[in-house]
Each structure stands twice: as structure tokens, then as C-alpha cells.
Structure 1
Amino acid sequence: MNNEFTFTIKSIRLDENYHPSNSTRITTNFANLARGESRQQNLRNALKMIDNRFNALANWDNPKGDRYSVELEIVSVDMDIAGSGQTFPSIEVLKTNIVDHKTNERIEGIVGNNFSSYVRDYDFSVLLLDHNKDQPKFSIPANFGDLHGKLFKYFVDSEAYKSHFSKPPVICLSVSDNKIYHRTENQHPVLGFEYQPNESSLTEQYFKKMGLQVRYFMPPNSVAPLAFYFFGDLLNDYTNLELISTISTMETFQKIYRPEIYNANAVAGKCYQPNLKNLDHSLTQIVYDREERSQLAIAQGRFAEEHFIKPYQTVLEQWSANYAL
């Protein structure tokens, strides 16, 4: 049954000339930035923020703070289901590449970073909402996230992935505003102080089914911790420059998308609860339509239901039953 799916990987440069394709999930952070009157200035400003943050963290042998720049690729993964020739846009991630202007090297960064998935939209914005509609108490549907987790692991184990990328993905997300995080004494030179949450979240459980562990770190001169989802050993499997490429990229997007947390004027303390209603924060010079983004998630979840979940339900159920989590 494991021969049911094949993957096609495509990539496009994310720079100031980027235009979202018709197949791109339009709620994706970078696609949202790249639309409207301010699109080119948005992208230019965001990319400059990423470069500045990278050089601030990679400050050794970098006296002028301009040694490095980060290049971004949007990696889109299409899945051919049951050899039908019909493809479905399953996953979209970002790939970082680092340009060292001192040595003129181009260094491979990390794949993952931002994570977009139509099936995840379906799970959270359709299945979970429908399951809890008119219910007195919130609950999780049976086998929630199983299919998505198996598909993701199958992709990472595929020849398509291994032929394109040398290391497993790292996905970097915001912390949750309904959890409390406690700072530990564990400090990494690049990732910063580690934080630990008071309880597990639905997102953690969902990503665990994808085979991913999570650790929380607040990098130097950041104001809030980031969630790093990874396979293997986050601290030893990746170089400092690779980790910095992810931090600088995703912290920039979070400053734009969640300024109440990541562009707050107060730094997270030893005991920290994020607050999306925090008024004491600064705005970036980048236009971002957060309300539109949240509204479109349901529409995209319905798209996944109509074009993937329902048409291939039997195939998916049979494949999932034969694929061990």
C-alpha cells in the first residue's frame, strides 16, 4: 500500500519580485505579504529584517554586521494519489540558504521553518469545528491528526525528500497564548534560554503524530520564546548558521504576524504567558491582513475536504490502516 503516493517537489525564490501562484495557500504568511499595493515594499522590508537579525546573531568575524544574507525558497509538494495522475497540493514549506559575502559561499540552510498544509487546515478548521458544533464540552475527534501525521512522515522518508534535502525539517512556530512557559537554566549560544510549558497542547500532540518533538527557546535579544519542532537532536544535528537562518526568518514573520508577542516592548520573564491582547507592542512597517488570513483557513479546509478527503476516502483509509504511526 505504501506505493500509493508519489511526491513532486517544486521551488520558487521568495524575493521582492515574488508573486504567489494560483496553487499557493493564500493564508500562508509570505503569500499574504506579497499581495496588495504594498507587496514589493513588504517583501523588501521583511527580507531586510531577516538579514539584519541573522547578522546580529552571527556576529563573530562579522564586525560590520553585513557578512551574511539569507535567500528563501518556497518549496511546494504535490502528491499524486494512487497513480491517478491527479495531484493535490499537500505541503508548503520554506527553505533557507545562507550567502557568506566574505568567502562567497552559498551555504544550505534548513528546510521547514514555515509549515502550510491543506490537510491540517481541514483537520483544524473543518473537522474539529464540525465535531464540536453545538456540543456542551470541547473534545477531540477519534484518530485526529493520524492521516496527516502519516502522510508527513511518509513524505520525509521518501526518495523525493531525500534527493532534495540533506537534513530533516525543522518547523518553527509561535508559542501558545493559553499556556505558561517557565525559563530553565539551559542556555544555547544561538537558541538562547530554553523554556518549558506547563502542559501539552493540541498542536504539540498533532505534530507528535508527524514524528516531531518540540523544544522552546528564546534566542538572544528576542522578547518571547519560539517553538521548534524537529526530528532527532535539534542542538547537535544542525550548525549554528543553520539554526540562525531559521530563527531570523521565522522571528521576522512572527514580528509581523504576532507583534503583540514577538514585537512586545517587554521581554518574557522567568514565568511567561503570551498575550495576544497585549497593547504594549510595536508594529513593523509591513502591511499584513491577519483577519483575512484567519477567515480563509476554513475555505481552504473545505477545499481539502472536497478535492482530497472525500474523493479518495477509501484509498486514504486503507493506506492509513496499513501505515504504522
Structure 2
Amino acid sequence: MSNKFACTIKRIRFDENYAPADSTRLTTNFANLARGEHREENLRRTLAMINNRFNTLASCDNPNADRYSLEIDIISAELDVEGNGQTFPFIEMLKSTITDHKTNERIEGMIGNSFSSYVRDYDFSVVLPALGCKFNEKPEDFGDLHGKLYQHLINSDVFKAEFKKQPVICLSVSTTKTYYRTANVHPILGVEYTNDDYSRTDDYFAKMGLSVRYFKPENATAPLAFYSANNLLSGYTDFELISAISTMESFQKIYRPEIYNTNAAAGLVYQPSLSFGDYSLTRIVYDRVERGQLAVKQGKWTEENFIQPYKDILNEWAANFSIENAGAA
């Protein structure tokens, strides 16, 4: 019998043969592309976009823009709440490895990138509507359980044995906020943007121990939101940062072309909008409406299969959780 709240890590290669596992959220960036009659073509084109963007940013000694390619693994973390071998799919992230085709060296890429969570679906798609919360309203304990489960995972011996650094999660900027360009320019991440508006999402990630900074990389049309626990600017290598940018910017061009594949870049003051009309579509097919509807279904599934069955043990565990004992099963 295993320990309560024991963590396990599984890897699945994200390539043109990828098929989502039964436990994968179908709204997840990578899973949503691997469905339907265009699945293999979608995956090939997505991987080509990622590699092309990486080589554009890693241009030194790379005259033909083909020196590097990325291998991407889907990292699935599961929790055994009762210690009886029955696991729940907690989160999925991406881990990249860079191949240098000139030296045949394999180089560590970023852990994190995309972030997929059933409990997050439950919080945003079930809890908030049930309470009748309006824009940016939330209960005081909103995200507490999710944040503690996340910190338990990344501080576990299982996670630390697999990954040397903590994740950096890279998301789209919000269409409800205004961003202001600063004079700060990072050699890899690009121009920094700021905003001072309260965000329910930022608060949610803060309970995971993550803070956000916004950067628009070279030749990008909009800033990306980078959530990290460590120092984003000094805690990661150039290749790790480039791998995160190339991976997540490619996904955002597919899913939010009105922001990330526009024909005009963000200016000094930037208000993202999904109604912006001057953009180009990628040649990658997916169902945006279905993707939105599935989030609610996944949240209700989480309520029925995780929150309600384990309510008492989850509440007791969360009440006794502290950063000092995070990761202990």
C-alpha cells in the first residue's frame, strides 16, 4: 500500500503519433490538436512551428535556421489521495529537450510551459458560477486546495528526482486588462510590459507560489504571461527560456490568433481583444466552441470523481498543510 497523497509522474511523447491518454483534459493545448481527421497534420505543423520559432530566436551560429529541434514530453502528475493505489490525474505540463544537430548534444529545455488542471476547471467552471460570482469576484479561500496540492507536488521527492528546476508556466495575456510597455528589455524574453490591475487568475497562481511578469519576445505581436516561483530572469538558461517561448507562442498563435498572429504588434499601451480583425489563421484545425464547452464538463467530472468523494480527507489534509512539510506523503 502506498502513502496518502503520494505523487507519480508519467511521460508521453508529443509528436505526430501522439494520442491523448484517457486521463488527459481534452481542452489542453496539445490534446485538442490530436483529435479528428486532421490530427496528424495538425501535430506535424505545430511541431514545425515550434522548431522554426526556436531557431529564429537561437540564431547565433545558426545561419540556416535549422540547427535545433525540440522533443516535447507531456508530463502527467497523479495523486493517490487515500494511499490505496487509486490515482487522480492532477496536472499536466510540458517538458522540452533540445537537440543540437551540429554537435549532437541534448540540452535541457523548460519544464512547465502549458498548464492543465482538472481542479482548476472545477474552481473556475463550477465553484464560481455556483456562487454567482461576478467578474473578478471570488470566495476568500478560492484556489487554496489547488495551490497546496501544486506545492505538495513540486516539492515531492518524485518531482525533484525528475526535474532540476521548478516549472515556468506561460499563458496568454488577458483580454480584460491593459498592459503598458516599459523600457526594460531582456535579451531573450524581449520587452517587458506591466499592469497594475487585480486579476483573479494572478491571485490563483499566487496560491501556487507563482508570480507573473509579462514579456513580448522579438518579432512577437503580443506579450506572454510568465508565471514562476524562481527568478525568471536569472534562474533559467537562454535555451530554457527560448524553448518556453517557441512552444507556447506557437500554441497561442493557433488558439488565439486575434492576439498572437496579428498583422500589427502591441504598442506602448496594449489592450488584447478576441474581436480584433486584422489577423491571420494558421493552417491548423481545431474546434474553439467545443474547447470552451468541455471545460465545464471537465469541472463537473472533477467534482464527482475527486472533490466530493474525497471531501473530508482533502479538507483535513489542506488544514494541516504547510510549506515546511510540502511534498511529504
TM value normalised by structure 2: 0.95
Name the residue aligned to 1:42: 42
Name the residue aligned to 1:245: 243
Q: Is this contact kept in 2: 1:98–1:109, CA < 8 A?
A: yes
**Which letter maps to 1:14?**
F
* Offset from partner CA, 1:229-286 (integer Å, 9 cap, x none): 0011001111111100000000000000000000011100010000111111000000
1:259 maps to 2:257: yes
Q: CA deviation at 1:108?
A: 1.4
Distance in 2, Cα, partners of 1:298 & 1:112: 24
**Which letter maps to 2:122?**
Y
* Structure 2 SS opposite 1:144: coil
Name the residue aligned to 1:207: 205
* Offset from partner CA, 1:182-206 (integer Å, 9 cap, x none): 0111100110000001312111000
Structure 2 unaligned blocks of 5 or more: 324-329
Aligned partner (choices 165, 168, 171) of residue 166 of structure 2? 168
Distance in 2, Cα, partners of 1:49 & 1:296: 26
1:275 maps to 2:306: no
**Which letter maps to 1:316?**
L
Distance in 1, Cα, partners of 2:189 & 2:96: 17
1:295 maps to 2:283: no
Distance in 2, Cα, partners of 1:276 & 1:198: 21
Name the residue aligned to 2:153: 155
Q: Is this contact kept in 1: 2:115–2:169, CA < 8 A?
A: yes
Trace 1:28-177 onto structure 2 (pairs within 5 A). Answer: 28-132=28-132, 139-177=137-175
Root-mean-square deviation (CA), in Å? 1.2
* Structure 2 SS opposite 1:116: strand
Distance in 1, Cα, partners of 2:49 & 2:241: 16
**Which letter maps to 2:261?**
N
Name the residue aligned to 2:215: 217
**Which letter maps to 2:249?**
E
Alignment CA distance shift 1:138-1:244 (3 Å): closer
**Which letter maps to 2:314?**
L
* Structure 2 SS opposite 1:89: strand
Distance in 2, Cα, partners of 1:139 & 1:260: 27
* Structure 1 SS opposite 2:31: helix
Aligned partner (choices 168, 171, 184) of residue 186 of structure 1? 184
Q: Is this contact kept in 2: 1:179–1:198, CA < 8 A?
A: no
Q: Is this contact kept in 2: 1:4–1:319, CA < 8 A?
A: no
Structure 1 unaligned blocks of 5 or more: none
Distance in 1, Cα, partners of 2:46 & 2:76: 21
* Offset from partner CA, 1:5-58 (integer Å, 9 cap, x none): 111100010001111121111111111101111110100000000000000000
Q: Is this contact kept in 2: 1:132–1:138, CA < 8 A?
A: no
Name the residue aligned to 1:324: 322
Q: CA deviation at 1:138?
A: 6.8
Distance in 1, Cα, partners of 2:271 & 2:322: 36
Q: CA deviation at 1:4?
A: 3.0
Q: Which runs of at least 4 in structure 1 moved beyond 3 Å after TM superposition?
A: none
Name the residue aligned to 1:305: 303
Distance in 2, Cα, partners of 1:198 & 1:278: 23
* Structure 2 SS opposite 1:234: coil
**Which letter maps to 1:129?**
P
Distance in 1, Cα, partners of 2:215 & 2:115: 18
**Which letter maps to 1:283?**
L
Q: Is this contact kept in 2: 1:191–1:243, CA < 8 A?
A: yes
Distance in 2, Cα, partners of 1:81 & 1:115: 21
Q: CA deviation at 1:84?
A: 2.3
Q: Is this contact kept in 1: 2:181–2:267, CA < 8 A?
A: yes
Q: Percent identity?
A: 61
Distance in 2, Cα, partners of 1:286 & 1:212: 31
Name the residue aligned to 2:15: 15
Distance in 2, Cα, partners of 1:74 & 1:290: 22
Distance in 2, Cα, partners of 1:144 & 1:21: 29
How many residue pairs match? The answer is: 321
